């Protein structure tokens, strides 16, 4: 499993249908792709939210992004992440 940060940007339409139910459906999408949601945060600034997820690979991230956009209207950009300890080990 790889950790990914999925950054979301609301459209004027997507913000109208914010709800706990929609968030639960988003979690289900990640689960159906063999992943898990580690955390979700609302943000101030260039991006409106971030999902921190563990997913099996890039194919699942592409699918998650597309399915979440279809469900919510939120545009996502994703990036893989590793811990600082893993980073130190790789570069040592």
CA–CA–CA angle 26, 30, 34 (5° rounding): 160
Question: In this structure, which topology does domain 2-91 adopt according to CATH?
Answer: Alpha-Beta Plaits (3.30.70)
Which DSSP symbol is given to 13? T
Provide the residue-wise pLDDT of the chain in tens; the chain has 92 residues: 999 999 999 998 898 989 999 999 999 999 999 999 999 999 999 999 999 999 999 999 999 999 999 999 999 999 999 999 999 999 99
CB 25 within 8 Å of CB 35: no
With a threshold of 0.75, does the pTM exceed it? yes
Contacts for 55-62: CB closer than 8 Å, 24+ residues apart: 55/1, 55/2, 55/4, 55/30, 56/1, 56/2, 57/2, 60/33, 60/34, 60/35, 61/4, 61/6
């Amino acid at each position: 499993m790889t950790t990914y940060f999925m950054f979301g940007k609301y459209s004027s339409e997507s913000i109208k249908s914010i709800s706990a139910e929609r968030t639960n459906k988003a979690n289900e999408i990640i689960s159906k792709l063999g992943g898990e949601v580690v955390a979700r945060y609302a943000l101030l600034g260039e991006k409106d939210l971030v999902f921190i997820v563990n997913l099996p690979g890039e194919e699942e991230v592409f699918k998650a992004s597309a399915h979440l956009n279809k469900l919510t209207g939120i545009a996502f950009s994703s990036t893989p992440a590793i811990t600082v300890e893993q980073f130190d080990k790789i570069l040592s």
